Amino acid sequence: MMEQEDLKFDRNHIWHPYTSMQNPLPCYKVNCCKGVYLELEDSRRLIDGMSSWWSAIHGYNHPALNQAITSQLSRMSHVMFGGITHQPAIDLTRKVLSLLPANFESIFYADSGSVAVEVALKMAIQYWQNSAYPQKNRFVTIRRGYHGDTTGAMSVTDPDSGMHYLFKDFLPAHYFVPRPKSRFDSAYIQDDTAELEELLAQQHQVLAAVILEPIVQGAGGMWFYSPEYLNRVRQLCDKYHILLIFDEIATGFGRTGRLFAFEHTAVTPDILCIGKALTGGYLTLAATITSRRIAEQIGTLMHGPTFMANPLATATAIASIKLLLASDWQSKIANIEKVLQRELRPAAKNDLVKDVRVLGAIGVIETRLPVNLVKIQEYYVNNGVWIRPFGNLIYLMPPYIITEDELTQLCQVLSNSLRPEFFID
């Protein structure tokens, strides 16, 4: 009874992501989470296929992460970062920089992925301002990308196909080129950067940076593209004096089988954004990282979120990275990839399915028709799994601790949901 009332109250008063107040999508009330399971109020347990949007890589309620957060809590949960520093921020910085190529030396902590992207854009513009090229203040990106929901981040998210098209006239106008056609698992298509090159040749005087999600385009289309594309983009950026920003907020910390997705190539960006799995999905924390040379050129950066480098978040992030590095994460991801391939590939024969893609611990089924989210979600919950599709994309990115049996079950429920009744014709 109380549960019904709470859900009704929630429905009437709380805005959930990507839905309305007058006709909201239904919500399921989660009571607690442990390992790879979400437990609902009515005690049903769901195998988590989403890692809470790419973040909970170690699963939920992990003793090591709980320990890190509680021991930090007894010292301080937060303190301003202006004029003050603290051990978790220093230790996390040492740890994060040790994972990256040596030229990454300067880190800016943000309180969400979108803000890390805003900071990256500001860094790029300011770099050119201070290099006597103030007209270089536009960005280029590829269509079907996604970089967050704040204004600057929305402006580099595809205005036509993306979820922010309503704001098209309000946002600063940047440049978009087609997304790479070259698949991750196929040969590189030689002219894939042709439009980008043409644009850079014409507009390089006004271009500050190219911003990309390396290898995996996430929320804009769950598309995996060729590492060779990144090699070419790096060459073009060097040729035309344009900075390169990689948004690894979704892909960082092992998800694609490499610690960072750009490690599928030999190239590195000038500015890197990380977030999501940085704290193992415990608390909101992100970072924008660049080289000493670029940082010096930028000078004073007028940005300073209230919860910058939050001690609880940074302490948890240290524990999460240690946990990841101490585990045999490469084998875990390789095993997840094997099971995803084995279980999802056969769906390619289904008439409803347009494409099946698997990379690392990400499995994607692109369907011909959009899902009926309410119906398919109910089916998943009734069958003991948590999968949250959008549009034509049903995808899995489970916590790395998932067992083969749990993953097989997750995939089988997904495969069984590929029936006309769950799609909008």
What is the set of active-site residues?
18, 146, 247, 276
Which region among 36-44, 110-118, 297-305, 414-422 touches ligand PMP (by CB under 6 A)?
A: 110-118
The count of chain residues that interact with ligand PMP, using the rule CB under 6 A, is: 15
CB closer to ligand PMP, 65 vs 117: 117
Kindly state the smallest distance separating residue 2's Cβ from ligand PMP, in Å: 31
Q: Which of 70, 156, 76 is nearest to 121 (CA)?
A: 156
**C-alpha count within 13 angstroms, C-beta hemisphere, residue 165:** 7
Q: How far apart are CB 139 and ligand PMP at their closest, in Å?
A: 14
247, 263, 343, 406: residue in contact with ligand PMP (rule CB under 6 A): 247
Question: Binding string, 257-286, against ligand PMP, x = CB under 6 A?
Answer: ------------------x-----------
Q: Which residue is nearest to ligand PMP (CB)?
A: 113
User: Which tokens go with 110?
Assistant: 């943000």
Task: Name the one residue in this structure whose structure tokens are 């670029």.
Answer: 294
Q: Site mask, ligand PMP, residues 156-195, x = CB under 6 A?
A: ----------------------------------------
Please write down the long-range contacts of 67-75, taking CB distance under 8 Å and 24 or more positions apart.
67/319, 68/315, 68/316, 68/318, 68/319, 68/320, 69/282, 69/283, 69/312, 69/315, 69/316, 69/319, 71/315, 72/311, 72/312, 72/315, 72/316, 73/312, 75/311
Q: Does 92 bind ligand PMP (CB under 6 A)?
A: no
- CB 400 → ligand PMP: shortest distance, Å? 18
- Per-residue tokens: 377: 């979600």
Q: Which amino acid is at 177?
A: V
Contact 175, 207 (CB under 8 A): yes
Separation of first and last alpha carbons in the chain: 36
To the nearest 10 degrees (0 to 180), the angle between helices 404-416 and 329-344 is 30
User: Which of 68, 69, 117, 274: binder of ligand PMP (CB under 6 A)?
Assistant: 117
- Output the six-digit token pair for 327: 């585990």
Other CB atoms within a 10 A radius of the CB of residue 305 amount to 17
> Judged by CB under 6 A, which stretch of 56-64, 126-134, 247-255, 321-329 contacts ligand PMP?
247-255
Smallest gap from Cβ 177 to ligand PMP, in A, equals: 18
Candidate ranges 82-90, 112-120, 373-381, 409-417; the one touching ligand PMP (CB under 6 A): 112-120
CA pair distance 82, 10, nearest whole angstrom: 37
Dihedral angle over CA of 91, 97, 98, 104, nearest 10: -160
Q: Please provide the DSSP assignment of 17-53 as one string.
A: TT--SSSPPP---EEEEEBTEEEETTS-EEEESSHHH
Question: Which stretch in 146-154, 229-237, 332-340, 365-373 sits in contact with ligand PMP by CB under 6 A?
Answer: 146-154
Residue from 52, 93, 112, 268 touching ligand PMP (CB under 6 A): that is 112
Binding residues among 206-245 for ligand PMP as defined by CB under 6 A: 213, 218-219
Residues 6+ apart with CB under 8 A from 341: 358
Candidates 49, 148, 252, 281; binder of ligand PMP (CB under 6 A) is 148
- Interface residue with ligand PMP, options 104, 108, 139, 146 (CB under 6 A): 146
Question: Contacts with ligand PMP in 294-353 (CB under 6 A)?
Answer: none
Site map 38..57 versus ligand PMP, x via CB under 6 A:
---------------x----
Among 72, 114, 268, 377, the residue binding ligand PMP under the rule CB under 6 A is 114
How far is residue 126's CA from residue 141's CA, in Å, rounded to a whole number? 19
Angle, CA 71 vertex, CA 65 and CA 74 arms, to 5°: 140
Residues lying near ligand PMP in the complex (CB under 6 A): 53, 112-114, 117, 146-148, 213, 218-219, 247, 249-250, 275
